[in-house]
Structure 1
Amino acid sequence: MTVSRRLFMAASVGTAVAASSASLAAAASRTPEAGRAVSAGPQPPYRIAISATDTPDEVVAKAARVRPTRRQVAWQRLERTAFLHFGVNTFTGLEWGTGDEDPDVFQPAGLDTDQWARALRDGGFELAILTVKHHDGFVLYPSRHTKHSVASSSWRGGKGDVLRDFTASLRKYGLKVGVYVSPADENQYLHGVYANGSARSPRTVPTPVPGDDRPAADTFTLDATDYGAYMLNQLHEVLTEYGPVDEVWFDGAQGRIPPEKVERYDWDSWYALIRALAPDAVIAVRGPDVRWVGNEGGLAREDEWSVVPVKDSGNGSVDYALPYDAPDQGSRAALAEARAVAQYVQWWPAECDVSIRPGWFFHEDERPKSVEQLTDIWFRSVGRNAVLLLNIPPDKRGLLPDADVARLREFRQRIDAELPADLAAAPGARVVRRGGVVTVDLGREREADRVRLAEDVPRAGQQIESFVVEARSGDGTWTKVAGAGTVGASRVLVLAAPVRARHWRVRVTGARGRVRFGEVGLYRSEAG
């Protein structure tokens, strides 16, 4: 069947649709918001419709009812994910390729994806995303639908497949697999496919090609342009031939082409195919599950909300209702401002992307960031209710540079030292939760200088708008030692100086709805 715009609105919140085969009927029976088997009771909504006629208080009340999907909860718990920018740009020295590169320039003679996986595991990462295709259009696996790929390089006699090595290595070392397939494609523009002005029409995916060696399989009929169909065929290859994929990453880049030659991306069909073939994968950051924080410095806002107002900007694209780089995306004031243009309030958590080096691809003259810089980024991303996406680019050998590998290990050691054993979980400690107040008795006076908090977002969503951390002195007086606005899935505060006390408490001073804490931790940093 053809996936219509109406059907996509279900697909964009998680329903797997768009198959013409009976085998995908089971996928379509999954709940829209979580991609899990239907339970006896109704599931909390992942997005709720709003309109300009809603009062500010009504919009806030709706935002308080929004809950994350299962896939979003799992993604937010990762905290740190890795990006690996690798391709022809690694060898040409460019950051954005031209699409007419000779594929033979790609010669990673020492490629060792096991080395990548070990370094990432030892650096504390659980998921890594590979640039399967960047804006230049060069593909890191032998696609049936383009010659601009590793198959046209003499590397490994034209039999190389970086994606296969990558997925095998990640699974070998216990990491989750992510893939980045750039919507922009300079090579396909040169071949008259990208931005050629073709109309959307029903396309069959996978599209058979001469000498196709695939067995008969389920097919999909999806609305797409010529280039949209090309992307669908590549997504089908990636999602059916390399094992389970846990994240599909898009950006919204357009080709560096004349302004009148714009390709309007078939987001609805792409999302629907992903939901059908990889129902547990998050779609980021131009997708319905995860949003871009708005900068490439790895920094979240001081108060980062996971529930934000969104709109559909065309072909089912989930988009910001407010400017992507607005200093406030989800407060009461932001929700009120967005009512005129937003269609929904939605659980759309932030991802903070940044490269360990100045560039996204490897350049000989660049060096990795210091441990101090990376630690500051961690506190201002993971510590502010976001997930850190750190890029570590492989070099021309096909290896992660020694300096970067060492820095990843040092970075993990530093974060472990910043937050060692949780004093609130030590023997003799006692934690009492009563609504918006959590008291901690450490059993004896202990010194702490880090506070880590989390709301129980799967059950209660994100509600806290402001809170204080207090310590009780010997005379029974409670004294404020820290405070902030939002909490969400992760909030880490650094106290101005270590505080010694037996009794501590976290007190919510502002909230949208009933607060439920998932974590309250106290730490004494061991970092030098």
Structure 2
Amino acid sequence: MAVSRRLFVTAAASLVASSGTSLALAPSASASVSTSTVSASAEEPWYRIPVSPDDTPEGLVRKASQVRPTERQIAWQALERTAFLHFGVNTFTGLEWGTGDEDPDVFQPVGLDTDQWARALRDGGFKLAILTVKHHDGCVLYQSRYTNHSVASSSWQGGQGDVLRSFADSMRRHGLKVGVYISPADENQYLHGVYANGSARSERTIPTRVPGDDRPDGPTFTLPATDYGAHMLDQLYEVLTEYGPIDEVWFDGAQGRIPPDKVETYDWDSWYTLIRTLVPDATVAVSGPDVRWVGNEGGFARENEWSVVPVQEKDNGRMDFALSYDAPDMGGRDALVAAQPVADYLQWWPAEADVSIRDGWFYHADQQPKSVQQLTDIYFGSVGRNSVLLLNIPPDKQGLLPAADVTRLREFRERIDRELPEDLARDARVTTSPGTITVDLGRAREVNRIRLAEDIRHGQQVEGFVVEAQSGGAWTRVAEAGTLGASRILLLSTPVRARRWRIRVTRSRQTAHLAQFELHRSRS
């Protein structure tokens, strides 16, 4: 049986590990993942499992082992590298968090070229890009019916400019998926609108028709919302129905910078319902049910990052981690027990690691992009630790990605290509025996990068494993770690030369299915 990038075998072969757990090789079908829509009724029994104070520690682990990702989560995890584009009035005012009373006419990206953005991201190895359609200042980058705080109030392109349309068209033209960030916080709506006005939730008809509304009849919704919640629903409706397929909707949980007695309780449940109905394949992150924030803005996941974590349901259906986001352990056995008093569910909620290529999230002329080495370290600390990297690259005042950043993105991709060149195990022979998978390279080869993955269609099961190389007839341990998940990359400080390599799972919650066992020799 030959090994390639996805351990191609003719059938799954169950193995009994030395610890008493079991391991299985995934069939070749694991190399291809469907992105078809999964209905809520189909995902609920496995994507999220209820827990109670009566569950024993062993019962919690058993339930965690039964949680499975949805098809949209599997597709999202495979993206590996995604991009953020922070762009708006802050680009021109120099602020990171706008005030809400900016004159939209300050927005003058006279050289806007979203095709340049798309080419740079594609050449940098990115597969999806998210635009800040509305940041906390409330100024939107498209022609909205529901606010004057938008590009329509700028003299740029005679008030007819639409960054979102240009962005979406360019990304698709160059083969990238399209994501939108729409800030729940809205300083302009606080100053001049309905944010935190104390209105009660009531049934609202979405979309709200306005004078001169020339939209053709489309789906309508009756959803509970506050005045501001309805405003958000109307803007979401515009974005999700008028700009082609949207692949990710990104929320944070920020509140406006307002007095403590003026908090807006967001209508998460209604927002999620609208998104799921209009764009059922779209991932909802990170204040959303599909993807969670890793807990820092440095781009690094935990050494052992779990995709199955304890969560609690908060106001209006928002899922939140049951402990603290800076906890060193999100889903290990100790975390499951520690979270039990407050947890409502165990949920498949994989981590997204966000970081900006510059110090700020918006463009500042006095800042420079991170070095190739810094970005490479971030890649191995995110993608290499069962997370997806979300790298922000902010356009400048001309509406272009800065030349230095474009160069750095290309250098970053080239560096990762050199770090993980051809898989030396592609033409190897694979054998299985209790608890191990062994590959024979045919001759001794130097290896210093090892890439592994579970077939997450069967959940995340591995809690401990070792990788060994045979030298002089004896097996020597060259690396060990805890979790695997959808992607684990191990870096050897010194290359090891050997013909035969093996992985042994030393602890697993249930039968573990290995989907990837790659051996590389970096060229950098």
Q: State the secondary structure of the residue aligned to 2:133.
A: strand
3-state SS of 2:260 partner: coil
Count of residue correspondences: 490
Summarize the Cα distance change of 1:263–1:42 in structure 2 as closer, same or farther, 3 Å threshold.
closer
Residue 506 (structure 1) aligned with residue 503 (structure 2): yes
Counterpart Cα distance in 2 of 1:379 and 1:302:
11
Q: How do 1:378-417 residues align onto structure 2 when only pairs under 5 Å count?
A: 378-417=379-418
Aligned to 1:288: 289
Aligned residues of 1:453 and 1:518 also touching (Cα < 8 A): yes
Q: Is the 8 A contact 2:202 2:224 kept in 1?
A: yes
Question: Which one-letter code corresponds to 2:443 in the other structure?
Answer: R
Q: Distance in 2 between matches of 1:435 and 1:253?
A: 50
SS in 2 for 1:400: coil
Amino acid at match of 2:158: G
Instruction: Give distance in 1, aligned partners of 2:172 and 2:460.
Output: 33
Letter in 2 for 1:486: T
Whether contact under 8 Å (1:44, 1:65) holds in the other structure is no
Q: CA-to-partner distance for each residue in 1:23-80, whole Å, 9 max, x for gaps?
A: xxxxxxxxxx9833799x9996111000111001101000001110000000000010
Q: Is it true that 1:523 corresponds to 2:524 in the alignment?
A: no
1:276-324 per-position Cα deviation (integer Å, ceiling 9, x unaligned): 0000000000000000000000010000000000011110001010111
Alpha-carbon contact 2:62-2:509 (below 8 Å) kept: yes
Separation in structure 1 between the aligned mates of residue 52 and residue 60 of structure 2, nearest angstrom: 9
Deviations 1:435-461 (A, max 9, x none): 742111001111100000000001x11
Partner Cα separation in structure 1 for residue 45 and residue 501 of structure 2: 33
Partner of 1:432: 431
Distance in 1 (alpha carbons) for counterparts of 2:437 and 2:393? 39
C-alpha distance in structure 2 between counterparts of 1:118 and 1:432, whole Å: 43
Deviations 1:93-130 (A, max 9, x none): 00000000000000000000000000000000010000
Specify the alignment match of 1:325 in structure 2.
326
> TM-score by structure 2 length?
0.92
Tell me which stretches of 4 or more aligned residues in structure 1 moved more than 2 Å: 33-39, 41-44, 431-436
Aligned to 2:485: 488
Give the whole-Å Cα distance in 2 for the aligned partners of 1:167 and 1:258.
36
Contact kept? 2:38, 2:72, Cα under 8 Å:
no
CA contact (8 A) 1:435 1:516 kept: no
Within 2, Cα distance between the matches of 1:500 and 1:153?
Answer: 63
Residues 134 and 183, structure 2, Cα contact 8 Å, conserved in 1: yes
Alignment of 1:195-210 (within 5 A): 195-210=196-211
Deviation at 1:496, TM superposition (A): 2.1
Q: Residue 215 of structure 1: CA displacement?
A: 1.1
Q: Give the aligned partner of residue 69 of structure 2.
A: 68
- Distance in 2 (alpha carbons) for counterparts of 1:38 and 1:298: 31
Distance 2:100 2:434 in 1: 57
Partner of 2:469: 471
How big is the alpha-carbon RMSD for the aligned residues of Structure 1 and Structure 2? 1.5
- Tell me, yes or no, if the aligned pair for 1:371 and 1:414 is still in contact at 8 Å: yes
Asked if the contact 2:291–2:352 (Cα under 8 Å) also holds between the matched residues in 1, the reply is yes
Q: Which has the higher contact order (CA 8 A, sep 6+)?
A: 2
C-alpha distance in 1, partners of 2:248/2:402? Answer: 25
- Is residue 204–residue 222 contact of structure 1 (8 Å, CA) maintained in 2? yes
Aligned counterparts of 2:298 and 2:43: Cα–Cα separation in 1: 40
Compute the displacement of 1:216 (Å). 1.7
Structure 1 residue 192 displacement after superposition: 3.7
Q: What is the aligned partner in structure 1 of residue 440 from structure 2?
A: 441
> What SS does structure 2 have at the residue aligned with 1:74?
helix
- Counterparts of 1:260 and 1:206, CA distance in 2: 29
Secondary structure in 2 matching 1:373: helix
Query: What does residue 22 of structure 1 align with?
Result: none
AA of the residue aligned to 1:232: L
What per-residue deviation string (whole Å, max 9, x for no partner) do you get for residues 185-242 of structure 1? Answer: 0000011400000000000000000110101222100000000000000000000000
Residue in 2 that maps onto 1:278:
279
Partners in 1 of 2:175 and 2:433 — Cα distance?
A: 38
Match for 1:225: what amino acid?
A: T
- Residues 70-93 of structure 1: CA distance to partner in whole angstroms, max 9, x if unpaired? 000000000100000000000000
Matched with 1:57 is: 58
Alpha-carbon separation, structure 1, partners of 2:409 and 2:268: 35
Is contact 2:87–2:362 with CA below 8 Å preserved after alignment?
Answer: yes
Cα 1:292/1:37, change in 2 over 3 Å: closer
SS of the aligned residue for 2:466 comes to: strand
Q: In the alignment, is the contact (CA less than 8 A) between 2:251 and 2:287 conserved in 1? A: yes
* Alignment correspondent of 1:36: 38
Cα offset, 1:468, TM superposition: 0.5
Residue 443 of structure 1 aligns to a residue in which SS? strand
Aligned counterparts of 1:435 and 1:104: Cα–Cα separation in 2:
68
Residues 329, 335 of structure 2: 8 Å contact kept: yes
Q: Which residue of 2 aligns with 1:30?
A: none
1:9 is aligned to none
SS at match of 1:297: coil
The amino acid that maps onto 1:472 is: Q
Contact 2:43 2:70 in 1 (8 A): no
Contact 2:195–2:264 (8 Å) recurs in 1: yes
* DSSP-derived class of the 2:409 partner: helix
SS in 2 for 1:399: coil
Partner SS state of residue 315, structure 2: coil
> What is the rounded CA distance, in whole Å, between the counterparts of 1:319 and 1:42 in structure 2?
19
* Mapped partners of 1:337, 1:497: distance in 2: 38
Deviations 1:150-199 (A, max 9, x none): 00000000000000000000010010000000000000001140000000
| SS of residue matched to 2:300 | coil
Given the superposition, is the C-alpha separation of residues 409 and 66 from structure 1 closer, same or farther in structure 2, using an over 3 Å criterion? same
Structure 1 residues 435 and 179, CA gap change in structure 2 (3 angstroms): farther
CA distance in structure 1 between the aligned counterparts of 2:142 and 2:500, rounded to whole angstroms: 58
C-alpha distance in 1 between matches for 2:178 and 2:495: 40
CA contact (8 A) 2:441 2:499 kept: yes
Whichever residue aligns with residue 214 of structure 1, its letter is: R
Map 1:37-186 to 2 at 5 A. Answer: 45-186=46-187
Whole-angstrom distance in 2 between the partners of 1:42 and 1:281: 15
> TM-score, normalized by length of structure 1?
0.91
Deviation at 1:431, TM superposition (A): 2.2
* Structure 1 unmatched runs, 5+: 1-32
